[in-house]
Structure 1
């Protein structure tokens, strides 16, 4: 592919990079701005028990489509697939802003997730195409700066929209940014597509959506609205197991599988992908539920809750920039081990978090999680793209994104299920199951409704939310420890070549 590399030198790479970064910004800002607004959204629309589905819906379609978009980009080119992704993302954003119920919002987030499935992997692949191996580590630092920019603007805009205007602008603000990103790619990215007949693994995509969605439904609703020993639960378990079995069978039979198992023969790819599954669960656990703790338990504003997430997104790009240089000196494995250690430190901060420790303690835990994510993810992406050739780069990058997205989707469902189950159990323990429910926790997130609660009810809800979130943060610490253990299996630098 040397002729391709020569042509990339003639491209307006800075303008393409800027357009790609703007597209990535749309997905990156979701981590802070939507999470910051979620307590206000739930207070307005109701349905606290559906809280995690606002994240899970987005992450489910994101995870399910990231591989298919990666395959389509190899066939039709990066440009049309990236533009399609941005378009779908903006349609979902518009509908999210117009939502009048939690169900409508969740459906809109499904659509938004379809678009997001193309944004991150295709953007990363475009950068991998137009920059050579020596430049790639440095450019990862620039890409990671997107998270820093979103960290500063996300909570500021999220807090501003929630406190001054309306949470709906959290979604509508994506429209002008998405249009700018599309225009940049349309005018500056030029591709020579080699016409070739290749099959598209639609069946693989269908089976993984079926398997993951039913599994997420089990995690979120099990023991809450669906009894564990009910026929419906047994049916969901069978559907999920059947879906996973057919997915693996389909991938072994398909001419061009959505998830080619051949890439897993590289040990660096295997360890990076499995670790990305667990770190994806950690990331969503922090970004989804930290605002609920800061607002619902600590009684702080949406802006303060947003800034406790800001520290994660500031630590991420700082660590990524350092990782770009560090991995060239001490290797992917040692850089990743430092990142895994930082994840555990952050997990300990959250495990020890109490309302009395305040937002600063929460922000410190968030910062160390960000450092860990920056060090590990940069090492993983550069290592994966260096381990495979041009023809494999797109699908190898997409596979890693898929595992992280799948981890985030499963994490939102699993941790959401733990939270709802613990709150329900605490309410029953206090003998108030007939008077209040999990959805009554909506009132903690609205200052006006919070003030109207009796002191006794408010105390029970806050204590239930506190114990539920402590269980979530215990889960985060366990996932951090597991991530570090997996990284130990990563090959040393000599074995990566």
Structure 2
């Protein structure tokens, strides 16, 4: 008996003189899929939505509680790592979890990843130092990555393609709702009790979702209804031939390249200079690892290699798919930056409470939630092509971010800032919402799991890079602007805790607040540049017959992708 699973679910089959190609295996399984209905579909939809809600709350909840956390643990100059440490592993592990679910099964993988997230959430709540918190956040991000990517993968597999817009709207709403309520919860907790509950509340919530997922996901999903499918035993899953499917080198190069790049973007100019040997060495090693990652994926994508690539080489030759990934990357850069830095600005410059900062971020997050649902309704009901929705959303995002750069150094909250939040939030929501339904229509069926992971991974990579850049810009701006105003000791205290601003003399306090305001405006100017790049990238999706996500055009588009790719698949040599 052999285990045939290259680029597809693990399938045990009798030895035969000729083994079918991976695309044929995957298509056979896809055609025999029995989709979920009734209470099981409803319960699983609810469970997946709650899973995505929980991990996305964790990204935005930090925005309004970060000042309280860093003031308590005395590490404002390390605040970027509290968020980015989470995002690095979140970013690096998304595709890897998708591949692990191909090897070990969807149900075991999503239960394992939610368990990791829950356990280390408790660890974050118990930490006593910034270093301990950052370490626990790194492991918490590992769990969150799988929750996010596998929730989307399972959602694709439990319903037929014509129902994808409805599922995408539901999951996009959950994602955006997490961003909406996260700052409010974080602000209320930080203001009325200890910030530790920001993390500790995930423990009971995670346990409840684990139970719901265990009940609602059928055994051997998504092959639960396929009578020809022979589920591998636990021994087979952990056998050398099964583990050999894991692209260990590719995953290692990806994580290493991401970690080193983000480290330079976070620390250069603060812990060490940009032209120092440390910065140059880290950038060079990161570049080498990125090259090794691409080369590795090119090699292991070949049929004669056992490991399954975390990013198949064939992806590089799909302009529409690579364009979608770049749009996802660019949209993540300003999104995470706004969610984190705007609440900081409200607290540091305008003196609002953590809860007040969360309330004032509602327009941005509510419009993201609303637009992510609305855009899928437009795509499904009005049959508007995704490219036009992406153009409108990207343009609105660009306009909103550009308006943020016009905020003055006044310590009074400008009323116009809420309008800027509405415009940019609606644009971000449109882009996030419509990107979720594109993958099934531009990639092969066998690549659906890793494609959904890649889409999310690029967005989170953008978020990590954006926050690293924003944190570095703010720290460098403060260092240069305040160097002549305060002593080195006072500057060190300011970078550890913003609460110390109010201990300064009134005149000096005004100058310090102006420096903070200038730093936040500079962050938004850089984010505006990335938004402009995103708008230009939408053009890569343009083609004669535009991508459609509903109706006969969508089916024809999906079938043409599979046929085109299948024709290029080389038949592997016979095995005995």
Normalised TM-score (structure 2): 0.81
Residue of structure 2 equivalent to 1:281:
333
Cα distance in 2 between the residues matched to 1:147 and 1:364? 22
Residue of structure 2 equivalent to 1:331:
385
Residue of structure 2 equivalent to 1:36:
64
Structure number with bigger Rg: 2
CA displacement at 1:279 relative to structure 2? 1.0
Which range is displaced more, 381-390 or 350-359?
350-359
Cα distance in 1 between the residues matched to 2:176 and 2:465? 25
Cα distance in 2 between the residues matched to 1:3 and 1:234? 52
1:227-238 correspondence to structure 2 within 5 Å? 227-238=273-284
- Cα distance change on mapping 1:11 and 1:73 into 2, 3 Å: farther
Cα distance in 1 between the residues matched to 2:492 and 2:393? 36
CA displacement at 1:101 relative to structure 2? 1.5
The 8 Å contact of residues 73 and 130 in structure 2, kept in 1 or not, is answered as yes
CA displacement at 1:2 relative to structure 2? 4.9
Residue of structure 2 equivalent to 1:258:
310
Cα distance in 1 between the residues matched to 2:276 and 2:173? 48
Residue of structure 2 equivalent to 1:135:
163
* Counterpart secondary structure, 2:478: helix
* Counterpart secondary structure, 1:269: helix
Residue of structure 2 equivalent to 1:58:
86
The answer on 1:215 being equivalent to 2:215 is no
Which range is displaced more, 337-346 or 351-360?
351-360
* Counterpart secondary structure, 1:489: helix
Which range is displaced more, 27-36 or 186-195?
186-195
- In the alignment, structure 1 segments of 5+ residues that lack a partner are none
Residue of structure 1 equivalent to 2:358:
306
The 8 Å contact of residues 61 and 186 in structure 2, kept in 1 or not, is answered as yes
The answer on 1:482 being equivalent to 2:537 is no
* Counterpart secondary structure, 1:494: coil
The 8 Å contact of residues 176 and 366 in structure 2, kept in 1 or not, is answered as yes
* Counterpart secondary structure, 1:488: helix
* Counterpart secondary structure, 1:39: helix
1:259-408 correspondence to structure 2 within 5 Å? 259-328=311-380, 329-354=383-408, 356=410, 358=413, 360-408=415-463
The answer on 1:249 being equivalent to 2:295 is yes
1:108-257 correspondence to structure 2 within 5 Å? 108-192=136-220, 194-195=231-232, 197=242, 199-254=245-300, 255=305, 256-257=308-309
Residue of structure 2 equivalent to 1:427:
482
- Cα distance change on mapping 1:322 and 1:205 into 2, 3 Å: same
* Counterpart secondary structure, 1:338: helix
CA displacement at 1:104 relative to structure 2? 1.2
Write out per-residue CA displacement over residues 58-98 of structure 1, whole angstroms, 9 at most, x where no aligned residue. Answer: 00001111111011112222111111111111122111111
Cα distance in 1 between the residues matched to 2:85 and 2:290? 19
Residue of structure 2 equivalent to 1:72:
100
Pick the structure with more helix per residue: 1
1:463 pairs, out of 514, 522, 539, with 514
* Counterpart secondary structure, 1:6: coil
Residue of structure 1 equivalent to 2:228:
none
The 8 Å contact of residues 95 and 108 in structure 1, kept in 2 or not, is answered as yes
CA displacement at 1:148 relative to structure 2? 4.9
Which range is displaced more, 435-444 or 173-182?
435-444
CA displacement at 1:333 relative to structure 2? 0.3
* Counterpart secondary structure, 1:436: helix
The 8 Å contact of residues 308 and 366 in structure 1, kept in 2 or not, is answered as no
The 8 Å contact of residues 67 and 497 in structure 2, kept in 1 or not, is answered as no
CA displacement at 1:10 relative to structure 2? 6.6
The 8 Å contact of residues 159 and 303 in structure 1, kept in 2 or not, is answered as yes
RMSD over aligned Cα atoms: 2.0
The 8 Å contact of residues 32 and 309 in structure 1, kept in 2 or not, is answered as no
Cα distance in 1 between the residues matched to 2:269 and 2:182? 35
